Amino acid sequence: MAFDLVFFGGTGDLVWRKLMPALFQAFRHGTLPDAGRIIGVGRDDLSDEQYRQQIQSRFEQVEGDKRPKPEEFARFASLLCYVRMDLSQPAAYAALASRLAERETDHVVMYLSTAPSLFTTVCEQLAASGLNTPKTRIVLEKPLGHDLASNRAINHAVGLAFKEQQVFRIDHYLGKPAVQNLFAMRFGNALFEPLWRREHIANIQITMSEELGVEKRGGFYETTGALRDMVQNHALQLLCAIAMEPPINAHADAIRDEKLKVLRALKRWTPETLSQHVIRGQYSAGNIEGKAVPGYREERGVDPQSSTETFVALRTEIANWRWAGVPFYIRTGKRMASREAHIDINFRPTPHEIFKSPVGQVNKLVIHLQPKDGLELHLFAQGQSKRGQGNGTLSPVHLDLDFDKRFGSERVGAYERLLLDVLDGRLNLFVRSDEQEEAWRWVEPILQHWQGDTNGPRPYAAGTWGPSAASAMIARDGFCWSEEN
């Protein structure tokens, strides 16, 4: 299959840090289709060879085993070329059109790795220059807007130039192998589905925590915050994967129809639930792995009086027959005690206790997303005394399925998987416009509530699990976060 893959923002951070290494891994694995060409687009005045040299120098910062050997990069570099463009200038698109006209391809992928403010301009100019052909696919990176109105405006502008089946709204969390296994676990096995409902599940917790702060992205984070950066997209997509009904088949729209139903069934916010069930925080100075780190307001590019949240914890419910009354808890933050992402499915206790269970512990399924990738099933078992008799007291045991150990070299990174899906035209792991708008519709009352809240985010020391109010919120339901067990 012959293709052209065009990176708008081709000299930017995302391209050299994530996208180019992912493409190289696909090239190394032999899964990148033949007859491909990768075109970087940017403002810098570079030749094709200078662009290749720039990418090669960036590859030196890639982790060891993913770093190409000189002879490997030489072969990969033959796919790379460069077009200088000022994306705000209509005349610049003629240069890209000329480069694309050099050869016939099956597909042309336009990957917008730029500021979202340029999405509308780029789509309009691609259409004006005749580059929105039926064989064109466009990839949009998050964030797509900063609220519902701006998201709708972007989707409208994109929709005027491209059909929905040509648009790939990327959420790299959906490309993670562990998330793929979440779908496989639910819909490829008969074991859990009969238990996957309110009669058997007490609560579900989604945690996505980072040890890192905002690093060099203070300016970006000031206009974004944790709710827009993590909850509106990643966390809600995970919630949909957990809570959706089985789709009628594995086709993209069948899956996305079911996710949309979950988003529409999320309980709407009220003034009472906004004040009690949403906690925002901001990290202050603390310690990470024994090293002192500054607070958010001391980070470069951050307003010393900033009220931007670096932590969000919230409680919600899904108003349908499967999940009625089951609380879903979402928690995400920067500068927390550890870097991990996991989903805890906490089951209800046995209806009639004939054994003495460990205090405060429950049967649960833990789905690890990062850095570990796998499943843990936590059960209770009875040991035997030396006389061969049980004492009626149960002890916790667990089954640990480590997918990295099982699949090892067969694992494919998130961006590698998603880029290959774009080239193949598979939309299953990409977000449809109505999904995205429904997520913004649910999140927007929180943003509006915070605008009128003069108290601002609650401080929490770097290296902890966030403000104590997050623990108090879940404790009101009689539960606790997983690390508090």
- Catalytic site positions: 234
CA distances from 314 to 200, 205, 280, 285 (A): 22, 10, 9, 24
d(CA 347, CA 443): 28
Cis peptide before 371 (omega within 30 of 0): yes
Which residue type does 149 have?
Answer: A
- Give the residue among 73, 85, 89, 91 at the shortest CA–CA distance from 110: 85
d(CA 478, CA 471): 11
d(CA 313, CA 212): 18
Exposure string over 448-459, b if 16+ CB within 10 A, otherwise e: ebbeeeeeebbe
* Beta carbons within 8 Å of 241's beta carbon, 6+ residues apart: 179, 182, 183, 186, 259
d(CA 197, CA 186): 12
- Please list the residues that pair with 3 across neighbouring strands: 36, 107
Task: Find out whether 24 and 68 touch, Cβ atoms under 8 Å.
Answer: yes
Q: Rounded to the nearest 5 degrees, what angle is found at the Cα of 20, between the Cα atoms of 18 and 21?
A: 65
Instruction: Look at the alpha carbons of 143, 144, 150, 154 in this order and tell me if their dihedral is positive or negative.
Output: positive
DSSP 323: T
| 314 token code pair | 């919230």
d(CA 110, CA 38): 10
Full strand arrangement of the beta sheet holding 201-209: 395-402, 374-381, 364-370, 340-347, 201-209, 328-333, 311-316, 278-284, 458-461
Residue count of the chain: 485
Termini Cα distance of the chain: 53
CA distances from 439 to 310, 312, 378 (A): 20, 16, 32
d(CA 294, CA 296): 7
| 364 token code pair | 């649960």
CA distances from 103 to 23, 28, 36, 65, 76 (A): 21, 24, 11, 34, 19
How many Cβ atoms from other residues are within 10 Å of residue 50's Cβ? 12
